[in-house]
Amino acid sequence: MMQKDWQSLKLFYFLLAVGIGLGFSSCNLSGKSSNPEETAQDLKKEIQTWVEGIDPSGRGIDSSRLRSADMAKELYPSRQYEPVWVRVDSITPAGQSLLKLIESARRFGLFPEHYHAKTLTSIQSTFEQDTLDTGTRKDLGQWARMDILLTDAFLTLARHLQKGHEPIDSLKKNNTYQPEVYREALHKAIQTQDPAAALEALEPTSVGYENLKKVLPDFLRTADFSKQYTRLEYPYRDSTVFIRSLIKRLKEENYLDSSILELDAAALSQTLKRVQTARNLTTDGKYGTQLVNSLNRSDAESFLKVAITMDRYRIERESLPERYIWVNLPSFYLQVYDKESVALESRVVIGKPSTRTPLLTSQISDVITYPTWTIPASIISGEILPQVKKDPGYLSRKGYSLFDSEGNEVSADSVDWSKYSRGMPYRVVQGQGDANALGVMKFNFPNKHSVYLHDTNQRSFFANENRSLSHGCVRVQNWDGLYKYILRIDSALALQQGTSFTSTEFVRAWLNKKERHVIPVKSKLPVYFRYYTAAGRNGKLEIYNDVYGEDRKLRELLTGDKP
């Protein structure tokens, strides 16, 4: 080739390269200008297009559904569609921080998938790859989409951390929807560029919530969420559906061959015995609460109970006093808190599922040594009346006395029991003594359910793993320590006020003599009966059985698609 021709060819390629470069510099692959000011305006227009396309249900951002659509739609027009978390060529430090927070949402007892985690990660990965390949951001539409999804994620996180997963329509109905709180949190996050601090300020500060947050990291470090098992509902509504689910669950851990569709009663019993032996359970070949709870136990299920419990703390948001009695029913434990420390702990027996212990808040009013027991009407109609109709001598054998409406004692032999089917116009009272169902001490507190804390004459029940066994009252193993704590606080208050008090020495003397005394409590120690199926206790995560099925509603909210 001639020298002149070669120089001409080089000049052609140079001009071609310059032309291509100018072409790429004047527009990106979305056809937008690369002039910074013009690109910024283009990004705002993209945000406006997305926002105006969001429908009332939150749809409109491709396949994503906004959970706080109303607030997002209000926010952007007020900002003239200025992006919150991104700029034309990068994610802001606050945006990066929020992305990391969403990825680690489990440390708040929340689920990353509720905050567009998968979609945001996908968009971010695409942008990073585009930058490596071409050195330019390609799609302002997706950039705008990311900003809106991050805003929705922040506002939803704020709402969930402050009010739990109650749907917006329920919050509005109860007049507890507070969008101004979430908008203020967003404003603070934008100002400080610290979304984590703005969100954490919305969390409850109760001891139980804080204890769960402290133990969560250790659990999450070793948790395996890849194992998803069929959850068994027990007690069941349909035995056929339950057995089918049970067989499916047993296949998942290779207790049964995958080809098996049905089992007769004998084969199922033999299989269950193998399962029970492998899991160190009572080997009876029967399905029940113990077996179902064991099969339902997994890291995914444990975390869901943590999430439900933390959500319940957010919904209830209680401000607790300096000293109080705390009975967490599913844990089967009573704790006395004194300045955020546990001053006393005791095993308890709570109501059976058929005779639940209610949730309540009250204050200890008095303590009674060697109490009598006036039997509730529900126990009379359900248990005592059927027995006494068969044999009037049943009352005397059990140490029960019968009284009419005027307080006169009535002989059981003088009553025509055939007249009564559901109730009777008499009080049944068990006299004081070591055989009394209330034991030797009773702790009274005002409540409409006629329940109380007390000792018991069936102390062997405290050794049971499942201690949901009573008629509704709470039996306390360490009743001795509880009354001493109450009287110690009472005596300290009395000394401050210069008033009289009952000493523990007097009470011990009355107990030794088996005397009945009513001891008024002046310090009015608060009592809380609550229901949480997870707890941080002694630095470890504890998971409890949902003995009353109270978690069902929150389970549906956390695992469903409601905003």
Tell me the per-residue pLDDT of 57-67, one tens digit each, with 9 for 90 and over.
888 887 889 99
Give the pLDDT band (50/70/90) at residue 502. confident
Contact between 424 and 386 (Cβ < 8 Å): no
- Tell me: pLDDT of 251 over 60: yes
Going by the DSSP 8-state scheme, the letter that residue 244 receives in this structure is H
Rounded Cα distance, 558 and 563, in Å: 10
Residue 154: both structure tokens together: 């922040």
The answer to whether 151 touches 43, Cβ cutoff 8 Å, is no
pLDDT the model gives residue 133: 52
Interatomic CA distance for residues 65 and 48, integer angstroms: 17
pLDDT at residue number 551: 93
Write out the catalytic residue numbers.
454, 473
Residue in 228, 175, 182 with CA at minimum distance from that of residue 70:
182
Examine the pLDDT at 148 and tell me if it is beyond 90. Answer: yes
CA 232-266-464 angle, to 5 degrees, is 50
Q: Is the pLDDT of residue 97 over 90?
A: yes
Residue 22 has pLDDT above 80, yes or no: no
pLDDT score of 246 more than 80? yes
In sequence order, the β-bridge partners of residue 62 are 60
The pair of structure tokens assigned to 211 is 């204890």
Report which secondary-structure segment, H or E, holds 59.
Answer: strand 59-60
Question: Quick check: 72 pLDDT over 70?
Answer: yes
Q: What is the pLDDT of residue 25?
A: 35
Interval 385-389 mean pLDDT: 85
Percent share of the chain, pLDDT over 90: 62
- Mean pLDDT, range 91-99, rounded to an integer: 95
Give the lowest-confidence range in 3-7, 77-81, 221-225, 416-420.
3-7
Residue 396 CA to residue 448 CA, distance in Å, equals: 29
- Model confidence, pTM: 0.85
Per-residue pLDDT tens for 510-532?
999 999 999 999 988 999 999 99
Q: Are strands 474-476 and 453-454 parallel, antiparallel or unpaired?
A: parallel
* Per-residue model confidence as pLDDT tens digits over 427-451: 888 888 888 899 999 999 999 998 9
In this prediction, residues 350-372 reach a mean pLDDT of 95
| Of 190, 292, 283, the residue nearest 232 (C-alpha) | 292
Residue 24 reports pLDDT greater than 50: no
Compute the half-sphere exposure of residue 554: CA atoms within 13 Å on the CB side of its CA.
Answer: 26
Q: What is the pLDDT of residue 315?
A: 93
CA distance 305 to 327: 18
Give the closest residue to 43 by CA, choosing from 59, 58, 28. 28
Neighbours of 171 (CB within 10 A): 16
User: From CA 259, how far away is CA 318, in angstroms rounded?
Assistant: 52
Q: In this structure, what are the phi and psi dihedrals at residue 515, rounded to the nearest 5 degrees?
A: -100, 145
Asked if residues 154 and 68 have their Cβ atoms less than 8 Å apart, the reply is no
pLDDT at residue 561, rounded to an integer: 65
Fold of 321-371+436-531: L,D-transpeptidase catalytic domain-like (2.40.440)
Among the listed residues 453, 463, 423, the one whose alpha carbon sits nearest the alpha carbon of residue 521: 453
Per DSSP, helices labelled H in 427-527 are 479-497, 504-513
pLDDT at 323 over 90: yes
Task: For the chain, give the percent of residues with pLDDT over 70.
Answer: 92
Give the integer Cα–Cα distance in Å for 558 and 447: 32
- Asked whether the predicted pLDDT for residue 40 surpasses 80, the reply is yes
What is the structure's pLDDT at 38?
86
CA dihedral 148, 150, 152, 158 (to 10 degrees): -150
Tokens 């009015």 found at: 524
Instruction: Sketch the domain layout of the chain as residue ranges.
Output: 25-203, 239-297, 321-371+436-531, 373-430
> Residue 259 is encoded by which pair of tokens?
């080809």
Q: Is the pLDDT of residue 17 over 60?
A: no
Average pLDDT over every residue of 309-316: 96
Residue 26: predicted pLDDT: 35
